[in-house]
Amino acid sequence: MAKWTASDIPDQTGRVAVVTGANTGLGYETARALAEHGARVVLAVRNLDKGKDAAARITANGPRGEVALQELDLTSLGSIRAAAEQLRFQYDRIDLLVNNAGVMWTPKSTTKDGFELQFGTNHLGHFALTGLLLDRLLPVAGSRVVTVSSIGHRIRADIHFDDLQWERGYSRVAAYGQSKLANLMFTYELQRRLAPHGTTIAAVAHPGGSRSELTRNLPAWARAVLPVVEPLFQGADMGALPTLRAATDPGVLGGQYYGPDGLGEQRGYPKVVASSEKSHDVDAQRRLWAVSEELTGVVYPFD
């Protein structure tokens, strides 16, 4: 079978795509490829100056699609609600939402709403944003929600329902694993709820080992070995391919998980991969969904 590359992205003309964290790394490469193939891409970013620079770099290449900016701070439910309101005002339809932004292995800290930073940003922020934008996706046949997870969902990962915010102790690695496991469980439960509507699907992807700004929060010991191992990582353009395939390949099915096809899923071209057994715990998925609605105050408009 031929390797899937960005050249396999179908024409995206007429599609509106919102990509979080699109000013750098994987999000930037995802947004750039979508714009090059004709989509109107909204860069949803926390730092507008960096967003403007990213938009300028994309437009300098003469993409077929347009590029727009939207301020979005996933550590603030207030910012998420404001961004969703602006997006809903500007766009009658959204064809694609890519939940890409994230933080990794941060020191213990909280979001503006008091959530543990990694769980609050990577999962709860995107849970809230997706729910607030869903009424712009549901009427659109072929629309998609793609969330970016990580191999880290297998590393010391569980959903600690008795201490979701890590108030009784903190491990930056385990907290990251919880947030990335939550990304998968959210996607699987979202797909189950989307299926009766027949218009929108949810899929998930991971980039393998890719060079990105996620490494900025590594602890000292990890930063020390990074120069040795980083040459083994693939570029962000390759790391974005699983997300792009999940977002655009006509053959994608709801609930599928895409990652690199190389050894250990660390690098390579995108294919369907398997997630951990824990990620498929339906009872835990439903419990996480209910807790996420309670914590964010965002109730999905399925009914």
Q: Write the DSSP string, 216-252.
A: GG--HHHHHHHHHHGGGSBPHHHHTHHHHHHHH-TT-
Contacts of 194 (CB under 8 A, 6+ apart): 200, 201, 202, 254
Contacts of 216 (CB under 8 A, 6+ apart): none
With beta carbons less than 8 A apart as the criterion, state whether 111 and 75 touch: yes
Helical H runs in the chain? 25-36, 48-60, 77-90, 117-118, 126-137, 172-194, 220-229, 236-239, 241-248, 282-296
Which long-range contacts (C-beta less than 8 Å, at least 24 apart) are formed by 28-33? 28/54, 28/57, 28/58, 28/236, 29/236, 29/237, 29/239, 29/240, 30/98, 30/100, 30/240, 30/243, 30/244, 30/247, 31/58, 31/67, 32/57, 32/58, 32/61, 32/63, 33/6, 33/9, 33/240, 33/244
With beta carbons less than 8 A apart as the criterion, state whether 147 and 126 touch: yes
- Spatial separation of the C-alpha atoms in residues 64 and 41, rounded to whole Å: 11
With beta carbons less than 8 A apart as the criterion, state whether 173 and 155 touch: yes
Q: Which of 28, 176, 258, 300 is catalytic?
A: 176
176 catalytic per annotation = yes
Active site residues: 176
